[in-house]
Chains A and B, each alone.
Chain A
Amino acid sequence: MIDKRLFKLPGLTLTLIWVTILTGIQGIAIICQAHFLTRALVNSWQMKPLATLTTAIILFGGAFLLRHVCVWLKNIILDHYADHTSNLLRDRLLDQVYVTGANQIAQTGTGKLVTVALDGINNVYNYFNLIFAKIFDMMIIPFLVIIYIYWQSVRSGIILTIVFPVVILFMIILGFAAQDKADRQYAGFIKLSNHFVDSLRGLATLKFLGLSKRYETNVYEVSEDYRRSTMDTLRIAILSTFALDWFTTLSIALLALFLGLALINGSMPLFPALVSLILAPEFFLPIRDFGNDYHATLDGKNALGDILDILDQPTIQNRELVSDSFHWDANSTLTANHFNLQYNPDNAYQIDLKDISFTLHGYQKVAIIGMSGSGKSTLLNTLGGFLTPMLKTQSQTDNFTLNGQALPHLSQANWQKQFSFIPQFPYLFADTIAANIKFYRPEATEAEVQAAVVKAGLADFVASLKDGLATKVGEGGRGISGGQAQRIALARAFLDQDRRILMFDEPTAHLDIETEYALKETMKPLFKDHLVLFATHRLHWLKEMDYVIVMKDGQIVQQGPVAELAQQPNGEFKALTEHMRKRVTL
């Protein structure tokens, strides 16, 4: 019912002790409430004057209030716990994102991670608020109530004791079996509900095809199909609530009959009979509440499972192996020693990079080329330390050798401080252009930023903006074209000249030819005195490079200086470049 991993998080035990105590008091208050209400009613039945009821009414009111004060206090305590724990989970989740970065995102999907961190955490928060109160109510209150009823009337106690397991049994059989059927229907049902958005999104296409007017009827008909199938599902899905209601109301009716018979033949006085009747709904209330909220808690339960699963994934260890004093310079070397890599460690057959080895040194300009899906980006992400290669054995941890130092992976804080990474679609933060440019060096002066803006060819663009460098970009900010976004990323690299390594992942593939041409002119000066790693399938970049790594199916199939590879007649390089250049000449 509750994920056991929760108990590893702090604060739960103390919270649950408090909840137990308060639920206990609440149970006693419920009994007192019924007890004094019955007392008042019996007096009225005996036709005694109002004055004889006063004490009972006051005590009834007091018990009623005490009961709801307990609920209030429980809410406060559980809310505190829920807030505290969901914050803790969010912090850990973000920490996990920071450390395992791209690897995590590749496995979980970006959209899903953001949803989990926001909506998922909110669901978990609500779940914590609901679930403990419901479970403890269900465990404690019926128990206290039934003890009191036994004390008052063994006969009522027996009736309720017999009914209770039957209610639970039927709730399980009908309710959960129905739930199972509903779950199975759910997939088809989502499909139908998506159809509407589908047809709205396809409206433009329908217009192009001249079908949009006639399609209106179809929209209505599909929606009606959706209604019918929803109703079919619903008929079964709400059976569990129906079963619960059915048994509780019938057992009250049954109780009334048996108590009536006992009263008629004089084997029982009024007070115990009436108090049993009044307490019967209270006896069933917690389980009904639990049943009603079962669906509401499911989302939270699933979200909690998702979050804990993500947190359970191994984080990258040993991120501080490279010393603070490390700087890439003209004499540095990096060697990859025949490493393998897989995205998903559970799938032993899917190796995404196989037997990768090469040596890079100084300010080489290295192109990584290959078809889509050949592993160019994966290789680059591994060099950036966002993906970690498999360890060969426990003891052999030299996937890389950096200036003579053996390293299991490149997710090294001090290595990552040495490069700028420019992907196909650079991410712009919801902040000013200046803050985006200063992202690697927040302490940079305005003059330095200006200089970087000029070098990156952004000066005209910035001058055309009303707020200049203070213009907000990113989510909710001003829209920025792909070319300008690349220039902002370049300005970032120009600003931080301490970073002597540049990694590019298809930076111009999606840009129009003139923007690409202009951007290339901007980029060329940046290459000087830098180690450049450039993944691309735009062949014109090869002219700026002096070394090529050719990828195919996750392997390096050829590598060497550009001129040398171009000479080899049957090489993969030759085949690839000829295939890419294939076209009619003008």
Chain B
Amino acid sequence: MKHFKNLMAHDTWVKPYLKRYKKLLFLSLFFGVLTAICAAALMFTSGYIIDRSATHPYNILMIYAAVVLTRAFGIGRPVFKYLERLRSHNWVLKVTSDLRRRLYHVLEKDAAFFEEHHRTGDILGILADDLGHLQNLYLRTVFPTIVGYLIGLLVIILLGSFDWRFGLLMLLLFFVEIFLIPLISVNVEGARRYHQKAINNALYVDLTDNVMGASDWVISGRHQDFIQRPKPALKQLRQSQLKSKHFGWTRDFILQIVFLGMAIALIIFTNLHLTGSQAQANFVSAFVLAIFPLSDAFIPISTGFDELPLYADSIQRLNDLAPKPRTLPAQQTLDPKDFQQLTLKQLQFEYDADSPVLIKDFNQTLKRGEKMAVLGPSGTGKTTLLQLILGDLTPQSGEILVNDTNVLALQNERAQLFSVLNQSPFLFNTSIMNNVRMGNEQASDAEVKAVLEKVQLKDLIESLPDKYDTVVEEAGNRFSGGERERIALARILLQDAPIVLLDEPTVGLDPITEQELLETFFKLLHDKTIVWITHHLQGIELVDQVVFLTEGDIEMQGKPNDLYQHNAHFKQLFEMDRG
């Protein structure tokens, strides 16, 4: 709880939004309160009708007003509840739109974050889910608590106005029911839920090992080990969950006892105060019966509180997102037509003081139209090199020059100067036409079709029922790996930047598809300057320069033909690759 309080003190992702769309928020809470009031009032008027009728009034008109009210409250309760649910969802979703825009904005600013993301897995999916958790925080914890407190307050004021001592007693009971018990509950359960989350993660690892490694288990013949593997975590989890369950059941029972206390107090109160005359006594049932539907408003508060620790992680993660400001030199302009050469000058780079030097004293000059291939084992900084060229990372020393200008001073021009094609090109879940046109939004339909023809996709696309309007589906699933690369290639052809960076675009494809794709690439990009990261020698004859990186160093470098003639190791590799 203390942790949660600290968190909320510095929070900028939850609190400020409670002030947004005030009217909508107010309406939704107002309807919530009205729902509870109608529920109580329905029982109140019904109870009154029965009691009043039992005195045999000579005319039905005597209860007419109450009958009308009963009907009104009877209709009011479902209607207000319906409206409340709609309003509250509407409010939450409006806030979600704002939060999404903000999250996008933050991530867009922070290029370094993406570097981090490449190393730590699917943080983006997690962050998107976090926004979903905030929705639940509002709907399941914040709103029910506010409505419950407002109702409690109304009841105390109402009863206190009859008799302040009785009001005080009810205040005490309410304090226990909707504040003390939820607070104890979150304190006891908070730590336990964290613990359970940790065990659950361990269990996830065990089960993944069992399923993903199923064939290895079978081969090993270790059937018993396989069965026993998740057992310790399961047992631990069950023990902890059972404690939670028992705590929850006991708590619910105590909540009911306190509620019983309220009901009995009301029975006694009405007997003491409303038995002066029959006219007063006719309200006895009304008061007592009205309290019962209110339990609907109080019980969810404890459950809502219990869930707080589950949201804490999400709130923490979002608040920890702070764009790291980068200092860039004054931005300049450069007409892409004037591009002459790309110079990598004495580049030196390491992520931080603790990690090894990835790029050491790297020099290379590429004239307009020249092509360079970069090879090396994973972890030798090939992708880092591309990020340095783009200016996403700042080298510790040395510089990258486009003509004579440092690339860091050309960040506004980047999309005009550089195109990037990586191993899983991202296609947006929209039509092929729209995806390709992202390369140049001014391009006409005819121009888009022309580039798609160049990348040899015309026949395929025109054979589809929706032709160029075919939706590529999530992450381009509609198409094969080779086809996705071709669509992305069409996109960068339209972008028409003088420098193209290829980051292992053909990894995972079979050699025939790979060779065809590479030939298309180099044919269509013949006038571009290319830096191509690759993992074997297929297509190596298509470039002017080859660089082999090893850990923090250049192992060999030169024209492919020269290397083949004069470098025994290169020759060995080349011979092997040919088969």
Contacts and interface: CB of A to CB of B under 8 A. Distances in A.
A352 interface: no
Interface string A196-237: 111111111111111111011001100110110011001100
Contacts of A191: 429
Interface in B16-71: 39, 42-43, 45-47, 49-54, 56-57, 60, 63, 66-67, 70-71
Contacts of A581: 578-579
A165 interface: no
Interface in B184-199: none
Interface in A481-499: 481-483
B216 A249 contact: no
Contacts of A201: 124, 426, 475
B420 A72 contact: no
A50 B272 contact: yes
Interface stretch (A176-184, A297-305, A513-521): A513-521
A441 to B, nearest CB: 8
Given A44-B281, A210-B415, A259-B49, A253 B74 contact: yes
Contact of B213 (A211, A242, A256, A429): A429
A543 B578 CA distance: 11
B536 A194 contact: no
Interface stretch (B220-228, B327-335, B453-461): B220-228
A110 interface: yes
B467 interface: no
A196 B100 contact: yes
B219 A278 contact: no
A252 B74 CA distance: 8
Contacts of B66: 260
B90 interface: yes
Contact of B209 (A43, A474, A514): A474
A4 interface: no
Interface stretch (B157-165, B398-406, B509-517): B509-517
B257 A278 contact: no
Contacts of B107: 200, 203
A26 to B, nearest CB: 13
A295 to B, nearest CB: 13
Nearest to A263: B53
B288 A199 contact: no
The interface centre, meaning the residue of A53, A61, A68, A209 with most chain B CB atoms within 10 A of its CB, is A209
B302 interface: no
A97 B200 CA distance: 20
A44 B270 contact: yes
A432 to B, nearest CB: 13
Given A72-B249, A208-B415, A253-B46, A223 B100 contact: yes
B46 A94 contact: no
Given A274-B50, A474-B209, A512-B376, A75 B270 contact: no
B77 interface: yes
Contacts of A277: 46-47, 50, 289
Nearest to A512: B535
Contact of B216 (A216, A439, A513): A439
Interface in A502-525: 509-517, 520
A97 B564 contact: no
Interface string B362-377: 0000000000000111
B543 to A, nearest CB: 11
Interface in B77-100: 77-79, 81-82, 85-86, 89-90, 93-94, 96-98, 100
A212 B548 contact: no
The interface centre, meaning the residue of B89, B212, B276, B429 with most chain A CB atoms within 10 A of its CB, is B212
A40 B219 contact: no
Nearest to B257: A65
A173 interface: no
A101 B54 contact: no
A220 to B, nearest CB: 4
Contacts of A245: 77-78, 81-82
A420 B509 CA distance: 26
B108 A114 contact: no
Interface stretch (B6-14, B444-452, B569-577): B569-577
Contacts of A17: none
Contacts of A242: 78-79, 81-82
Contacts of A65: 256-257, 260
A203 B392 CA distance: 13
A513 B577 contact: yes
Question: Binding site of B, secondary structure by majority: helix, strand, loop or mixed?
Answer: helix
A323 interface: no
A337 interface: no
Nearest to A113: B211
Given A61-B264, A270-B54, A72 B578 contact: no
B220 A203 contact: no
B128 interface: yes
A32 to B, nearest CB: 14
Interface in B366-416: 375-379, 414-416
Given A44-B284, A95-B227, A512-B376, A57 B267 contact: yes
A7 interface: no
B256 A68 contact: yes
A40 B108 CA distance: 68
B244 to A, nearest CB: 11
Contacts of A538: 511, 579
B508 interface: yes
B439 A583 contact: no
A539 B577 CA distance: 8
A154 interface: no
A264 B512 contact: no
Interface stretch (A137-145, A411-419, A549-557): A411-419
Nearest to B473: A191
Interface string A49-72: 110010001001100110011011
Interface string B197-240: 00011011111111111111111111101110010001000100
Nearest to B222: A442
A387 to B, nearest CB: 11
A152 to B, nearest CB: 13
A278 B51 CA distance: 13
Contacts of A195: 429
A102 B579 CA distance: 31
Nearest to B128: A197
Contacts of B70: 252-253, 256-257
B101 interface: yes
Nearest to A239: B82
B114 to A, nearest CB: 6
A294 interface: no
A191 B537 CA distance: 41
Contacts of A207: 108, 111, 414-415
9 contacts: A37-B288, A101-B218, A208-B418, A223-B96, A245-B77, A263-B50, A430-B209, A439-B216, A517-B576
